[in-house]
Structure 1
Amino acid sequence: MSQTLRVRVACIEQLAAGIKRFTLEASDGAVLPAFDSGSHIVVHMDGGRISNAYSLTSQLDDTRRYQISVRLEEASRGGSSFLHERVAEGDELEISPPGNLFGLTKAAGKHLLIAGGIGITPFMTHIQALKRWQADFELHYCFRSRKSAAYLDSLPLSLSDTQLSLYESDYGGRLDLAALLAEQPPHTHVYVCGPAMLNDAVIAAAREAGWSDERIHYEQFRNEVDVSGGAFEVTLAKSGLTLQVAADESLLRAIEKAGVKVDCMCREGICGSCETVIIDGEADHRDSYLSDAEKAAQRTMMLCVSRARGGRLALDL
């Protein structure tokens, strides 16, 4: 595991149905690393057996504490249920320093923000940055019901009617993506974070409208990937280690347990930071980062979600 920080859970608040906000402070009382808008931390739980990334939602200039907002997932793979059901105020956690896969393009003439459900979280810091820059921006926030949506009390207080639009699907609220994109000036960049269905719809609509990929930014806050499978053996050529990866264990976790440090920001096959060269064997690719052609080439793999196709792998690690 890469360098981590020890933090204490200073406060837990219920923001909405199924959503809790956790305020974290350094266990030793020191200041925490600074971060920019759109950043996240990885929380390592249950002795390192669970590691999930969560967007920071706290004030950008407050290094005394971090805040994350976590939705209890119905089909939780362990992270959200652990935080909701097993963590109390005063408990300590290990976190990775802030990383950022969803930064703003400062040169954009206008910023169009589209959030779905708990995908609102990275925009809580983006809004702070955009207001400081006095930038032109709009936030379009889609959610199922008001009772299960976070920040509906604070967003209308900090944003004007022209900056904030809300869409409650239980009451017929629908975002017309084609119309929204059509009315934007040519220098606009769009940012979307939410379920895969929303992300895919925004990306497809923007491309259909002629937007270049450089103007389309997205973060998928949860990637449904089953990392389990048949047990296999992996040889780490540079480290001189041969490891056994259990059927219910991720390749990344087995490597970390052996004391080999690996950079991995998302741990869900999205960011590409743990891409590693394959020396021998074939990978069972389960990531959302490599193209189909790259997967077929079998030159690299993502350690966090992919496995071996067959009984063994050799990696340049």
Structure 2
Amino acid sequence: MRHPAKRPSWSLLPVLVTLALVSTAALAQDSTPALDRASVRLGGYYAGVDTDVRIADPSDTLGGTINLEDDLGFDKNKAVPRVRADFLFGEHQGLALDYYNIDRASHQVLARDITYDGVTYSANADVRAKLDFNFGSVAWRWWFGQGNDAYGIGLGAGWYRVKTALAGDGAYDLGQGGEQVVSVATTSNDSAWAPMLQLGWRHMFNDQLRMYLDASGVRKNGGRISGHIYNAALGVEWLPWRNLGFGVEYGYSQIKLHWNRSAYDADLDMTLSGPSAFAKLRW
């Protein structure tokens, strides 16, 4: 059943504007050495992944939940490349960029019946599946604080894209107990932009050792693909040289997206958690 598109909710806008004004008022303080003028972090995120796809249809002819790891044989751990960049303009404002992608595929003989995109795949069917998730963000940050600590708030936008593919031998329900067995391949490719809020903390123990905490949230209502994405990371950086350092962090991401389809609705529920290691170039 196709639901009418909802208008994006701007109920948080006054709160975000107030936070931005409060942080701007703090810019009169001296800048903190915990921030770099410019930096780029390149590394890998070894994520534990758990993914559910739910199909919902009021007529009850379609429905159920597919776990990509248990039902379709997707790897439960995935090394994910990631790149982040930060630029400071003046003493207290800057630009933050982030991008990562998760591309996974499997070739599996099913252990149970599943229904996807209007097609039933019976147990013992040979199925090939693929899911690609891309996320990127850009935000303007205001930094304030004193001494060895810096606190930041950022406002921006996040972009996400979900591509899926499933192929195998399936059966269409023809009604009255009849069905037609066919070789089926289904694909989807949806993307969207959504407003984003970021929070950050930086602490410098000394010239070579730092700690940081980052959190961000993206939420979109209405449209063909909607939902929210939350990210959080706690990390430590070791900076033995002026322009080169290394870091490790532990991150967690929750991705919950909803598709409005012509015949039914679908939900993607994916969580990522695990350690990262990266090299940091700074100026």
Indicate whether the TM-score tops 0.5.
Answer: no
- Bigger share in strand: 2
Greater relative contact order (CA < 8 Å, ≥ 6 in sequence) = 2
TM-score class, shorter = under 0.3
- Bigger share in helix: 1
**Which one has a bigger Cα radius of gyration?**
2
